[in-house]
Structure 1
């Protein structure tokens, strides 16, 4: 005999209460200023999402996805949770699954850093590794069918699971923490698209509140989202774009156009070569005195482009970006010299290019739209 509706509702109510209590125990994440030499009239800030209990921006998403699934009646006591992830979302979802006493299986690319795999297993989850990033979805759906579990599907539900109007989402938190700064309303907020959920939340919030802040998405080299965005601007959106391989910058960029990426919520995009992303990552790590992940570097290239644009226009103001996760998760990849050799990335040349950009150079190999 199956679980009765009454028993199911009792379990859902208790599960939601556990997640709310966990949220109530949590502090907000810090907003960290970082001065950029040569741009004294422009203030740059990092929203440090690495300080969440599971160490990344995806903690907010995982909480929202679990509450959304529970409110929809999709989760069952004892039934496993399945997620397609490049790592950080899976770490956070494993945390919430353990909080509710549910098994968790992460379907991940075989290239995922060993540190992320260890973090998922530490939270009580297990990892199902596959060869091609584009096969994540089919493998996740099959696992859900085989186990009687629920496929959380962050790439479909990220944009709708988050309450973008309030409830301490990342956008509301940024504006609240900026309130006493010299330029409290940022000219730009720079993020990177993975699911697209963060960009969508930011874009909806600034429009809803009437802020003039613009949202800039920095897409990594191996991803279709920049090209899809450009096709949207041209009036001929092509959602059929696919790539065989996944992004080398873990957590961002997609081999296909995801349902949660809402192009209309984004004001501008730039496509960043991986080598330059990692050079910027190393610069930020040195400036902050601690390691950050590759996606933070991708975004910081976007930050510098926005700062250069403001400087050329004679505008003072502020720019906010996101410190997505700690570089400690990438000790065997981005912080390992041999990783660059294996992937054919000339990091020394990229760092030289980054140094020139800090001095004002505008490189021609950074495709950008919407910056004017």
Structure 2
């Protein structure tokens, strides 16, 4: 047998790297263990409707959004795959919230982080990324973020996290404290513990993939509805069974909707989709604060516009049951945009007509968008 000529220094480097990875995973797992579950708020609706609505408040995570769960899973996935090492610079293409959460986890592990995003990203999100030690690299148009992130990551010891590819596989959809398991655990003592619908938006596609797979794996009768803002590629792709759909434009509702169908979007787990006008997302966000006192961002408004249509369908059919949706992030991140009337007017996002639709719905229990669907 030929003697081994391996350099002992290589073994020492490998051992040191394994030790660093072990410690890094322990830090991420400890952060998860310190985190209490997010609240599942019950929103009071007219009793005679026979429908209970629950909103899972993901804004209460340390980084303020649903993307905290995704960022944690992506970091663990990259660590166990050996993609992130001591000294790695992590790069991500993001509309903002994922970058905020990934900046936090990069800081936790002592790693540099660069977020690639459009210049139109809210200043509040940019400030949060920088607060967690991240840097921002801006592009002019949403379709440019992918190549820009990949180009940056081509540098030595940089890693492109690529949430749009890995979101659907980084989270364990069978359980293991994912968002679906959390929802069902929190509903256990409610009068309708198995909801009729779960309603979520599509950003990466990861949340809908996780929840849809969980529902089927555990044989729940619950149906999954996905809402999508106007101009996004997901709804037309699902409707036309064409996963190559590309719109070439970015969504005006920050955090959801994409100019192309992302690899993490799994259409087969979706039971229904609702396309939501941008002004309707804003109207539902405004109405939700008036209804519940909870100050949510516009993607939560997109969720709710779909929710109210499903509630109306249940009321019309005399169907009793519950619906669950997500509060994706807080409205404080959009003080200068979706919560600013002058900004809305400049963007052509007047929510007045859709606010009338919601007022009529709560007065009658029936849905008639009158051309404002």
Hey, what's the Cα distance between the residues in 2 that align with 1:365 and 1:272? 12
Task: Trace 1:83-94 onto structure 2 (pairs within 5 A).
Answer: 83-94=92-103
Kindly tell me: are residues 301 and 38 of structure 1, through their superposed partners in 2, closer, same or farther at Cα, counting changes over 3 Å? farther
Structure 1 counterpart SS, 2:228: strand
Which string of whole-angstrom CA distances, capped at 9 and with x for unpartnered residues, describes residues 200-246 of structure 1?
Answer: 111000111110000000100120100000112xxxxx233222321
Instruction: Give the Cα–Cα distance (whole angstroms) in 1 for the partners of residues 276 and 265 of structure 2.
Output: 18
**Structure 2 residue aligned with 1:347:** 351
**Aligned equivalent of 1:33:** 42
2:117 equivalent in structure 1: 108
Query: What's 1:215 paired with?
Result: 224
Out of 170, 173, 178, the residue aligned to residue 169 of structure 1 is 178
Corresponding position: 1:192 with 2:201 = yes
| 1:309-348 CA-partner distances (Å, limit 9, x unpaired) | 1112211110000000000000000111111111112222
CA contact (8 A) 2:353 2:372 kept: no
User: Do 1:80 and 1:147's aligned partners in 2 also have CA atoms closer than 8 Å?
Assistant: no
Q: CA RMSD in A?
A: 1.5
Which residue pairs with 1:253 in the alignment?
257
Match of 2:25 in 1: 16
Once the two structures are TM-superposed, the CA of residue 365 in structure 1 deviates from its matched residue by: 5.0
Instruction: Indicate the SS of the match to 1:261.
Output: coil
Q: Note if 1:332 corresponds to 2:341.
A: no
| CA positional deviation for 1:39 | 5.1
Check 1:363–1:143 CA distance in 2 against 1; reply closer, same or farther (3 A cut).
Answer: same
1:300 equivalent in structure 2: 304
Which digits, 9 at most, give the CA deviation of each residue in 1:260-287, with x for residues without a partner? 0000011100000000111000011122
Task: Give the TM-score, by structure 2 length.
Answer: 0.94
Counterpart for residue 278 of structure 1: 282
Runs of 4+ in 1 over 3 A off after TM superposition: 37-40, 364-367
> Using the alignment, how far apart are the partners of 1:161 and 1:39 within structure 2?
42
Give the Å deviation of 1:306: 1.1
Aligned residues: 362
Q: CA deviation at 1:89?
A: 0.3
TM-score normalised to the size of structure 1? 0.94
Aligned residue in 2 for 1:370: none
Q: CA deviation at 1:290?
A: 3.4
Contact 2:99 2:129 in 1 (8 A): yes
8 Å contact kept, 2:38–2:58: yes
Could you tell me how far 1:85 is from its partner in structure 2? Answer: 0.4
Aligned residue in 2 for 1:243: 247
1:34-73 paired onto structure 2 within 5 Å: 34-37=43-46, 40-73=49-82
1:125-164 maps to which residues of 2 (within 5 A)? Answer: 125-146=134-155, 148-164=157-173
Cross-structure match for 1:117: 126
Question: Residue 38 of structure 1: CA displacement?
Answer: 6.9
Please state if 1:231 is matched with 2:236.
no
Residue 148 of structure 1 and its aligned partner are, at CA, apart by 3.2
Q: Distance in 1 between matches of 2:345 and 2:368?
A: 27
* Rg larger for: 2
Query: How big is the shift at 1:364?
Result: 6.4
Q: Within 1, Cα distance between the matches of 2:48 and 2:312?
A: 8
Q: What is the rounded CA distance, in whole Å, between the counterparts of 2:238 and 2:22 in structure 1?
A: 40
Q: 1:366 offset after TM fit, Å? A: 7.4
